[in-house]
Structure 1
Amino acid sequence: MTQEMVEKVTAFITRERQECKELLVFEHALSGVQVPAGTVETGEEFAEAVTREVWEETGYQGQIVRLLGEERQDLPDSQWAVLASAPLRELPKLDAVPVARDEVLGNSVRRGLVVRSEREEGDWLYIVLEDYNLEVEPPRMLRSIGGWIPRVLVSRSIHRTYFEMCLLDETPQRWEHFAEGRYTFHLYWQSLEAHPRLVNGQQQWLERFHEALMSSPIDDGFR
């Protein structure tokens, strides 16, 4: 098993309005309320990655205020993080045909995804790519597609780096942004003092850094 880890970044975008610290969040069509986050591309620096993610998910340029922290997450036995994009194949061999394409999920995995494995054969894993509605509890599976990928393309570890950021331009209180080539994100500012509710996982990140985010004033130029 490879020891390489998938690198991910998270942006807590803040601003001050009338002496109130606010956090920028967005509502995803299927995955609930989130903050910008994503996977570091090959050869990309963390600062470049988090700035890119902010642009892609908000439509605005961002600037790093400070590094909040970092952590390593070791996945359970049945889960793997994808190190490199690859097609799902019907059989465990490189010349096997790709599985039938799913309308939403496609027939490949991309770098950074966390997938579930069902079995292995030699240097291959049969993995399942799943799409969930995270706005219900417990999350409800909407669709799934499975296939074989080389085991060398996955890892059991994820390294996350967290940043506080600000936007370089003034924004509305609410706006929409078309992201990922298929989703319309509904973005809005929320009071940090009111403890915004994010999707599972991200909520734990916010709770970890909430006190630090509240205690540090920023100068975003628009007070």
Structure 2
Amino acid sequence: MFNRRLLIDSGGQQTYSVLEIHVDTPDGGHVRSARVELTYNGESNLANTDNKGIAVFYGVPTGTEISYTITAAGYNAARGKWIIPTDAEYETEYVVLSPPVNYNFELTIGQNYDVEMGFYQSGFFKNDFGRISPAQFMQHTIEKVGIDAIMDTMTGMYTANTLTVALTGDTRSSISQITIYVANSMYTLNTVIYNGGVTYYSLEMLEDTTVIDYFDRRNGRTVDIQLIDQ
């Protein structure tokens, strides 16, 4: 049984409460061993959910903004903010974690290669070359799915090799990163930049030329890829 005693300051006002957090799946199941992080007053507090998907925090300040991040293997993270009312001695919050969803696409590969400059692009680039179907990801228009690379023409080595998915609009708050399955490999694009009305999700591939080689051998052909919301 939980302790529901209020903590009272010298002025007779409630300052702290108990916060009970339920973490469930969309179908009502419980998420066990989810990591729950609360941040308030510049400090972080951690707990894991029990077999019923519940985490309990004691001595949580009322009337104060509390930021939370909840993560669990096999689920998208949940983030948000709460403020416990000053008259609440025991507060209960419910959070639903959803599993990542795979979205299937047909990518017709196009290429642009400047031999003299060593500049290479391959994949789908809106209004330039390549195609993708469907042309939206999570209701956002896809601007780009492809590789940008720069080769040192003297050595044949790549000095840049970036895999990018770009979406129209500022999608940073709804899509924190994108995982792409291509060339029998999965890559998580977690460098996120918003510029000129487009959000770019990218990963510097360094010396990994798997995707470049895969696209190069299939120029003009259509291949299956997956984008995964995370």
TM-score (norm 1): 0.25
Which has the larger share of strand? 2
Which has the larger share of helix? 1
Structure ranking higher on relative contact order (CA contacts 8 Å, 6+ apart) = 1
